[in-house]
Amino acid sequence: AGALRGAVAGEKEAGEAMALGQYVAGMGFSNVGLGLVHGMAHPLGAFYNTPHGVANAILLPHVMRFNAGYTNEKFRDIARAMGVKVEGLSLEEARNAAVEAVFTLNRDVGIPLHLRDVGVRKEDIPALAQAAFDDVCTGGNPREASLADIVELYHTAW
């Protein structure tokens, strides 16, 4: 989170850390696959030319909340990595803190907060949801998502 904020502010070292982070992330997802965030982001690029990173960032906290009950302690680790003091937090509090930390990071670096902010039309949500449901990445999600779940997630992010 610190490197992203620094890179957005133009700090060279932070930009280098982001480049390394992108490389490591790419190596990781090449070996284990992706999930619902990417499955839902792909149609946003196809329908609206939304940059993939922006689409992922907008959707991430919403899908994190959807997946939270299926993550064991992973969200506690995410919250800690995002700078949240997690000592003494219940698992549910740590999960919520992780989601809120992502929302905060998005705001801090100027990511639009809603799909409507990048031109997504509400009436397109059923078609977006069907495309996301059919996307190869969606099957890698830790929690199975129905078409209705995906429609609801798009509405929540809208």
82/41 same-domain check: yes
141/70 same-domain check: yes
Question: What is the total count of domains within the chain?
Answer: 2
62/16 same-domain check: no
82/129 same-domain check: yes
Q: How confident is the model at residue 118 (pLDDT cuts 50, 70, 90)?
A: very high
Residue 95 and residue 120 in contact, taking contact as beta carbons nearer than 8 Å: no
9/28 same-domain check: yes
Please give the residue that has the higher pLDDT: either 96 or 16. Answer: 96
> 135's torsion region: left (phi>0), alpha (psi -120 to 50) or beta?
beta
Domain enclosing residue 49, as ranges: 33-157
Name which of 27-31, 37-41, 77-81 the model is least confident about: 27-31
